[in-house]
Amino acid sequence: MIVNSLSLCYHNKLILAPMVRVGTLPMRLLALDYGADIVYCEELIDLKMLQCKRVVNEVLSTVDFVAPDDRVVFRTCAREQSRVVFQLGTSDAERALAVARLVENDVAGIDVNMGCPKEYSTKGGMGAALLSDPDKIEKILSTLVKGTCRPVTCKIRILPSLEDTLSLVKRIERTGIAAIAVHGRKREERPQHPVSCEAIKAIAETLSIPVIANGGSHDHIQGYLDIEDFRQTTAASSVMVARAAMWNPSIFLKEGLRPLEEVMQKYIRYAVQYGNHYTNTKYCLCQMLREQLESPQGRLLHAAQSSQEICEAFGLGAFYEETTRELDARRAKLLARTPEEAREPVEDTSGVVKMAVKFDRRAYPPQITPKMCLLEWCRREKVAQPVYETIQRPLDRLFCSVVTVAEQKYQSTLWDKSKKLAEQAAAIVCLRSQGLPEGRLGEESPCPRKRKREGPDQDPGSPRAQEPALLGELCKKPLLALGSGEESLLEGR
């Protein structure tokens, strides 16, 4: 049996369960503060993660996985790196491995969700839907175990019969996973149904890998001592706590539960310090308040429409203002750094032609852009088409592009809010440095739209006949490679 050598220890651990909308960074850090040994993030779908780009957020001191729409899908930090497990929603082995390799340097383990019964998970063949396809389960887990440097686990529910459940978990164990979490309910059962401690115990007594018991919040776990009782009842190696931790993360504290007001304030501080979206913060606080949602404080929380208003509802208005100032000052300081101070990888820029320019769409006719002008010139002069290399600055997510034409690089020193704008700016630098038209309104030789051919009886002096020529007819000056920092033009051939 193959077992990943870089394993978390899953024996005798207190674990924060993966919970949608709850298992974000502030809650995970809070659980660690109160004694959790391992924390799981919420289930994140493979297709969504594969669209993300890894960004080091120097303002928040986090690593962010950012979607194309700039939404942070997963955020983590050094504090939890050795104890956070990334839970993946997937139904495909290759996609699962691609995501694992994307995040493996920033997390301690990879878990596959095979227990979520909700439609948003099962409709794509993920979550509990996998329980009816043991072959797919085996392929996904085997591929992950062989292909990632992190320990692999999975979280399942029990099947209708104990015999089928034991057969499945034995097959899962043979894939080489490091541990298995078992929610002691069937796919169709909900929290009000009793958890089957007997089924979890049978699994624990059958397998040699650690079994993590889950599902005890409703009937068994009301305080810290109950966690150990649940572990002994199920004969499990460790216990994973979900809703009891959502209601009060200090459930992991040996000394007992802390006052809810104190817990919520601590959670809010983490939420502000790590840029948590206010809607997620509000949701988690509502889960903690529960029956107190109709209290004066609950009503203030319900009415809050920003992180600042949430802070004010809990007497943390001054904290919000101070933290915001600190983050703004840190952001300004980082933006003011030179490339050397920023330790950004900087290519040797000798010979790169630079100008401080931006592309303003209003300054150009419809359908005409500097990139079009540059491309048309290259085609006419039989020069290789322009090659754009664009980078995004992690700090503020702005873009800068370098265009290469005839082995010469051109770049604007101003950063833009999109990749397309940055490329247009680079094209402008190239065109202006060579004295070529860029298509601006009112330009002496603008880059025009294509003209219609003259009819045989058309007067060459008519206004229509005098429409500007094709772009290639205007942009006739070939480029000259620059030397010694000078800009030159060859005479037209």
Residues annotated catalytic, as ranges: 116
354: Cα separation from own chain's centroid: 33
DSSP one-letter string for 109-149:
EEEEEE---SHHHHTTT-GGGGGG-HHHHHHHHHHHHHH-S
Question: What's the rounded Cα separation, in Å, for the pair 25 and 254?
Answer: 22
Q: What is the distance between the alpha carbons of residues 302 and 296, in angstroms, rounded to a whole number?
A: 10
Encode 299-347 in three state secondary structure. Answer: HHHHHCCCHHHHHHHCCCHHHHHHHHHHHHHHHHHHHCCCHHHHCCCCC
Distance between CA atoms of 137 and 129, rounded to whole angstroms? 10
Cα–Cα distance, 47 to 194 (Å, whole number): 34
Q: Letter for the amino acid at 306?
A: S
Interhelix angle 278-289/260-273, rounded to 10 degrees, is 170
Q: How far apart are CA 30 and CA 32, in angstroms?
A: 5
Tokens 């809990």 belong to 314
Chain position carrying tokens 């009842």: 233
- H/E stretch holding 410 reads strand 408-412
Compute CA distances 424 → 56, 198, 358, 373, 409, whole Å: 26, 66, 8, 10, 14
Between CA 43 and CA 92 the distance in angstroms is 15
Single-letter residue type at 336: A
The side-by-side arrangement of strands in the sheet containing 353-355 is 353-355, 408-412, 399-405, 387-392
If you compute the radius of gyration of the chain from its CA atoms, what whole number of angstroms results? 30
CB 369, CB 377: distance < 8 Å: no
CA distance 236 to 260: 29
- Residue keyed to tokens 């109160």: 34
CB distance 28 to 80 below 8 Å: yes
- Pick from 89, 86, 18: which is nearest to 47 by CA? 89
Sheet holding 53-57, edge to edge: 53-57, 62-66, 72-76
